[in-house]
Amino acid sequence: MKISYNWLQSHFNEKLPEPEKLAELLTMHSQEVDSVEPKNGDFEFEVKILPNRAYDYINYLGAIRDISAILKLDAKISLPEPKEREIIFVKESDFEKILGAHISEKEISEILKRLGMEVGKKADVFSVGIASERPDLKSKEDIIEEVARIYGYDKIEEKIPEGLLVPPRRNDALFFSSIARKIMVGLGFSEVYNYSFAPNGDWELQNPPSKDKKFLRTNLADGLSANVKENSKYFKDIKIFELGKIFPVNGEYLALGAISNKADFYEIKGAVDALLEGLGIDDFYYEDHDNKVAEVHVDGKAVGHIDANSFEFDFDELAKLADEAAEYEPISKYPAIVRDIAIFVPLNEKVESVLAVIENTAGKLLVDTDLFDIYENDERKSLAFHLIFQSPEKTLTDEEINSIMEKIFAAIEANDDWEVRR
């Protein structure tokens, strides 16, 4: 857009700055002046008009108002009063709060009036009437910006923003999923990503991507098994896991599943032990080990299951139970002593019940237990445990451990139909 310097001057009684200086002022405060060229005893400004100011500048009067506000000069222009003005309310304190600089009430009012706005004030609130030629002014922030550009951004001192930063509430599922990934990778598993679609399920898609992906998946196991089948052509040992949404009939939740083509039940159980302990979950146990399948319970609630070579968890539930603040315990410098015990119990007896008797009887010197074998016949089953004893203060003697083992034997056999295999 081209604007004549002499034409601009004709609207002011006072002498305007020289063309180059005026061009610099306009650029600093309002519109970008690309060039100033002499022409027939005049100077011609090439002004780049911003899209939101096009309506205001269409008759050049926007430029006159800007110059009037910047230089604090009265302009010789008269515009018909609009019948209606949109009113925007701005608190006086908002100017300093948003700009970080104090501008006096008088200067704010003067700037706005020279820009063609109608300004009133009641208490600490400005009421600013917006003319129809300024459709770009819609909010209090727009008004504050107008004052700032005329006042001069270069006059506003740079300050580090001050205020109370309230951190967002942590997404536990997201936080602990990161920890779970690190644990699984540390156990030798590789992460995979599968589609959330399946050939069958509880929720059918209206526009499925293909015939074999007409439903939302209800588990991770099917996809992981397919991964193993496909990749067994190329790899001997496969250990993979996935964190992803599943969609059973009762809703959706984040699940964690894993599978290994070479692992047995006890290796998978060991991986689950490491995972849960790494998430700070201590109060867990396994229920119903028939046929190498077990439910995993935490605080009396089923949160997942394991079988011969895989496991799957409701990770949303695990995240609620997880604890990042794991208590540090130094590793004892004294050697551990391992004793094995095999116990006959009824077929319907739960493993956690047997463990509770052992742990309550053994005391603090029993630092870990490990179920390493289950054998069943028609009448009862045999549970075999590694019992690991260790003291943080001294080397334990065989006599001390023998005494504890005798107490465990007595406590076990005090239960009807329980028998220690000696």
**186-211, pLDDT tens digit by residue?**
999 999 999 999 998 899 998 888 88
Residue 293: the pLDDT is 77
pLDDT (average), residues 286-297: 73
Q: What is the pLDDT of residue 81?
A: 60
The CB-side HSE value for 98 (13 A sphere, CA atoms) comes to 15
CATH number at residue 13: 3.30.56.10
Q: What's the number of domains the chain is made of? A: 4
Statement to judge: residues 101 and 241 lie in one domain: no
Give 384 or 76, the one with higher predicted confidence. 384
Does residue 369 carry a pLDDT above 70?
Answer: yes
Q: Point out which residues pair with 260 in neighbouring strands.
A: 239
Of 3-7, 282-286, 387-391, the range with the lowest mean pLDDT is: 282-286
pLDDT for residue 156: 84
Strands 86-91 and 125-130: antiparallel
Does the pLDDT value for residue 56 go beyond 80?
no
pLDDT of the residue at 301: 85
Quote the CA–CA distance of 176 and 346 in Å, as a whole number.
Answer: 38
Predicted local distance difference test score (pLDDT) of residue 79: 58
Work out the pLDDT band at 55, boundaries 50, 70, 90. low
Residue 327 inside a domain? The answer is no
Q: Is the pLDDT confidence value at 6 over 70?
A: yes
pLDDT for residue 291 is more than 60: no
Residue 80 has pLDDT above 60, yes or no: no
Q: Do 177 and 136 share a domain, yes or no?
A: no
- Do 194 and 294 share a domain, yes or no? yes
Q: What is the CATH number of the domain that holds 280?
A: 3.30.930.10
Measured CA to CA, the distance from residue 284 to residue 371 in angstroms comes to 14
Mean pLDDT within 8-27: 90
Summary mean pLDDT of the chain:
87
Whole-model pTM above 0.85?
no
Residue 315's pLDDT is 94
Return the H-helix or E-strand segment holding 317.
Answer: helix 315-321
**pLDDT value for 54:** 66
For residue range 214-244, list pLDDT tens digits in order: 999 999 999 999 999 999 989 989 999 999 9
Asked if 216 and 299 sit in the same domain, the reply is yes
Same domain (yes/no): 191, 314:
yes
**400-414 pLDDT tens trace:** 999 999 999 999 999
| Within a domain: 161 | no
pLDDT at 328 exceeding the cut of 60: no
Q: Are residues 149 and 179 in the same domain?
A: no
Relative to beta strand 239-246, strand 190-191 is parallel
> Do the domain assignments include residue 13?
yes
Are 195 and 225 in the same domain? yes
Same domain, yes or no: 309 and 346? no
Q: Which of 78, 95, 125 is at the close of a domain?
A: 78
Find out whether 259 and 303 touch, Cβ atoms under 8 Å.
Answer: no
Do 66 and 90 belong to one domain?
Answer: no
pLDDT band at 395 (very low <50, low <70, confident <90, very high): very high
Q: Which tens digits make up the pLDDT trace of 140-155?
A: 999 999 898 888 888 8
Domain around 8: 1-78
pLDDT at 59: 61
- Domain boundary (34, 50, 78) is at 78
Are 83 and 73 found together in one domain?
Answer: no
Gap between the Cα atoms of 260 and 198, Å rounded: 21
Does residue 141 form part of some domain?
yes
Q: Can you give the pLDDT at residue 316? A: 92
Q: HSE, CB side, 13 Å, CA atoms: give it for residue 338.
A: 7
Which of 54, 78, 102 terminates a domain? The answer is: 78
Which pLDDT score is estimated for 308?
A: 83
Determine, yes or no, domain membership for 60.
yes
Same domain, 316 and 206: yes
Which of 55-59, 245-249, 320-324, 357-361 is least confident? 55-59
> With pLDDT > 70 as the criterion, what percentage of the chain qualifies?
94
Statement to judge: residues 187 and 303 lie in one domain: yes
Tokens of 58: 């269409």
- In this prediction, residue 58 carries a pLDDT of 64
Please give the helix or strand (H or E) that residue 17 lies within, else none. none
Tell me whether residue 165 is in a domain.
no
Q: Is the pLDDT of residue 327 over 60?
A: no
280 found inside a domain: yes
What pLDDT sits at residue 229? 93
Q: What is the mean pLDDT of residues 78-93?
A: 75
In a domain, 61, yes or no: yes
For residues 240 and 228, the answer to whether their CB atoms sit within 8 Å is yes
Give mean pLDDT, residues 356-361. 91
